[in-house]
Structure 1
Amino acid sequence: MGEFRAPKTGHRRGGFDGPGEYHWLCLDHVRSFNAGYDYFEGMSEDEIYSQQRPWSGWDRETRAYAGNGASPTPRWNDFVDPLDAIGARFRTTVRAPRKDGKPLTDRDRENLQILGLKPDADRKTLRRRYAALVRKYHPDKNGGDRSHEKMLQRVIDAYTQLKDAPAFA
């Protein structure tokens, strides 16, 4: 008994009543079986045509979806949520604005995280943090150790983008 199935010729094909009848063949035998297999063997010309036409299956009418069978979607104002279970799930995606009202993009926020700053940082804090991180990661300050070069480049890129951002202008 092999691991590959091949339909028995002359027997019923799979359908509503079940999967049909199959031979179980090894890889070599299933390859030779597939080389000589003809799906349309034993069918009349009309049966072959009905299997090959591009709109096969589309000639049956489908049921329309009933709009009156289900109740309408409730409005959010109709919910009472004393434990804030619904709102808490979405609160993590809402980002708090800056206290001064200046806009921050997602990229600005990512760059602030790279520098280790909060969204309400000002330009002076940004410059001080940048200088401290450059001193920390620069190879000249680490005895020639170049293992922190990627982080140094990320810090430089973050500062370059943030210094021109509207929130720090």
Structure 2
Amino acid sequence: MKQSKFHGRVEGRAAHCAIPGCDEPGEFRAPLTPGGPDGPGSWRWLCLDHVRQHNSAYNFFAGMSPDEIEAAQSPIAGWDRNVRAFSAAGADPAPAWADFRDPLDAISARFRPGRAAPRASRFDARERDAMGVLGLADDADRTALRRRYSELVRRYHPDRNGGDRSHERALARVIDAYQLLKTARAFA
């Protein structure tokens, strides 16, 4: 059988159209039952005229409520599943890339038996002070840094607190701390 690019036609099929009484060749596949979680549904072969008739009467949304139709038409339909996150449990922790000049050294340090990779302190003195200004712990990640920065800017900015300018010094310290930390090696 040869597959034609014309409307899904499969030329050269010996079988006739599945509609009783039609002697035309059944060159177009049409769903008889919809697919489900157990696999694809069943199919039947129709001639061009009958597949056109089938397609014009087909309604994907038949039997759905308005909420189900809206969910099916969503651009993220099918992608909003709960999935298990990858776990690092049982695996060696990834190397601290910032501690190495050459990435190959970082990778090889991970696999050297009995020797740990050189580990520098996560923050220098200025960065630890900036973390204190923002009220963050040493184990904070980039997301926590951004979230805390946004929270403090909203709290101290005069446009957000009724024009109270008494917090300008605190706002400046928060901005300076964030500017320093967002380029810190620990958040790279």
- The TM-score with structure 1 as length reference comes to 0.40
Pick the structure with more helix per residue.
Answer: 1
Q: Which has the larger radius of gyration?
A: 1
Instruction: Determine which structure has greater relative contact order: mean sequence separation of CA pairs < 8 Å that are 6+ residues apart, divided by chain length.
Output: 1
